[in-house]
Amino acid sequence: MATSEDADHQVTVVDFWANGFGMRARIALRELGVAFRYVEEDLRVRERSELVRRMNPVHRSVPILIHGGRPVCGSVNILQYVDEVWGPTLFPRDPLQRAHARFWADFVDQKVFSTQTRFLKSKGDEKEAAKGELLEQLKRLEEVLGDKTFFAGDEFGFLDAVLIPFSSMFHGYEQHGGFDLDVECPSLMSWVRRCKERKSVKGVLPDEDKMYELHKKWYGIE
């Protein structure tokens, strides 16, 4: 039987299966070998659960990591917390490289995520413009990767965990935009395949067709 002390040390992730932000947290925990309980928050339902409202009253968003009964919110914040408690494994040791990794993580959140939304939601000229921007941003990330195995070098790390969830929509991007990412960003796609060989990533990334179907419904794509 679980004691209250066990409960205090337990780790829970509240998330939705198709949430790229939450996939980051689940991948990071698996990378570091931290066992966790998963609680699904169905984002297709309008109202947030009592648990989410209580644990993240400010944003009412997921993922939420609950450690010993206390919440940590925001995916990048969660990755930092996970690495501080169970690492250090994910972040580069060198402060300059850490700053560089955080800069590009912010680029993914501020630029790629909003461009993806615009690309999927819009039509006509606006969609064409968003498609061009999205490809440009992916190519920029490909340049940041360079000829390295992972973003920080030989080891899978923070920026890999931040970006790889987006790859579950790459097939959707190709369908939606009529392009081939193996042609547009060949090294980035090789990196995707390398990441997907990892148990942590394989166990978390959802089926790409299911992902695109969900987004089609979400954004009213015919």
Ligand X SMILES: N[C@@H](CCC(=O)N[C@@H](CS)C(=O)NCC(=O)O)C(=O)O
Interaction with ligand X in 2-41: which residues (CB under 6 A)?
A: 19, 21
Nearest approach, Cβ of residue 209 and ligand X (Å): 20
First vs last C-alpha separation in the chain: 51
User: Which part of the chain contacts ligand X (CB under 6 A), choosing from 27-35, 74-82, 189-197, 199-207?
Assistant: 74-82
State which residue, 30 or 48, has the beta carbon closest to ligand X: 48
Distance from C-alpha of 157 to C-alpha of 88, rounded to nearest angstrom: 10
In 3-state terms, the chain is what percent helix, strand and coil (to 5)? 60, 10, 30
Residue 5 exposed, middle or buried by CB count within 10 Å (0-12, 13-18, 19+): exposed
Region of 34 (left: φ > 0; alpha: ψ -120 to 50; beta: rest) is: beta
> Bridge-partner residues for 15, per DSSP?
40
Report the residue from 43, 82, 188, 195 that binds ligand X according to the rule CB under 6 A: 43
**Residue 63 makes contact with ligand X by CB under 6 A:** yes
Among 12, 61, 167, 200, binds ligand X (CB under 6 A): 61
Least separation in angstroms between CB 197 and ligand X: 25
Stretch that binds ligand X, among 61-69, 124-132, 146-154, 156-164 (CB under 6 A): 61-69
Q: Which residues bind ligand X (CB under 6 A)?
A: 19, 21, 43, 48, 60-63, 74-76
